[in-house]
Amino acid sequence: MISGAAKDRQTITSDWTPIRELIDGVQIREVKNVLTRNGGVTTEVFRDDWGVGPSDVTHIIYVTLQPGAISAWHCHEIQTDRIFVVGGQLKVALYDGREGSSTHGRVNVFQLGLLRPGLLVTPPGVWHGFHNVSNEPASFVNFFDRAYCYEDPDEWRLPPDTPDIPYKF
């Protein structure tokens, strides 16, 4: 072995389940594409009986990011996001900025897209950012448990290169 070589650590089980130490309150429900008889593909995006995140959905948005685009950093005080990528490939980074959280300071990174579909639940107080890592527009649907308040938005932002979050896009 060449001096300085590092051995890979286990990142996936033998049944292809990713090994992750998730931020407290973050949930990921990986789903499978179903190939249909007519040559199409069907993918379930959300089911209440999955038990992923709050059961109330009161507002849904559809977002598109151009190739290479970064949308970061973003956080809510009271709103929970449920994010499902429906086009392209996004790297989604999360940072637990909640004082007193058992996972305060932890970063999670997910690769989500058509090839790796999943519903990602981001609780209040967890910062999140998106990077379109594909060569085409990437898009996602976000299912909120609270409707956007135009008069008093529950929206907090930091620049993508903030020194306050230990992750670089």
88, part of any domain = yes
Q: Is residue 135 part of a domain?
A: yes
pLDDT of residue 129: 97
Q: How many domains does the chain have?
A: 1
**Per-residue model confidence as pLDDT tens digits over 65-99:** 999 999 999 999 999 999 999 999 999 999 999 99
| Burial class of 23 by CB neighbour count within 10 A (0 to 12, 13 to 18, 19+) | buried
Residue 31 belongs to some domain of the structure: yes
What's the CATH number where 89 sits? 2.60.120.10
User: Cα dist. 169→34, 68, 130, 159 in Å?
Assistant: 32, 10, 9, 11
Residue 137's domain comprises: 27-152
Does residue 16 sit within a domain?
no
Asked whether residue 18 is assigned to any structural domain, the reply reads no
Does position 106 have pLDDT exceeding 90, yes or no? yes
Instruction: Give the pLDDT score at 68.
Output: 97
146 occurs within a structural domain? yes
Q: In this structure, is residue 56 part of a structural domain? A: yes
Looking at every residue in the chain, the average pLDDT score rounds to 92
Mean pLDDT of all residues in 100-108 = 97
Q: Tell me the C-alpha to C-alpha distance, in Å, between residue 33 and each of 45, 49, 83, 118, 160.
A: 10, 18, 17, 10, 32
Contacts of 94 (CB under 8 A, 6+ apart): 23, 26, 107, 108, 109, 110, 122, 126, 127, 128
What 3-state class would DSSP assign to 36?
coil
Choice between 42 and 120, residue whose per-residue pLDDT is larger: 120
* pLDDT for position 44: 81
pTM of the model: 0.85
C-alpha 34/C-alpha 28 separation (Å) is: 19
- 117 part of a folded domain: yes
The Cα–Cα gap between 82 and 92 comes to: 12
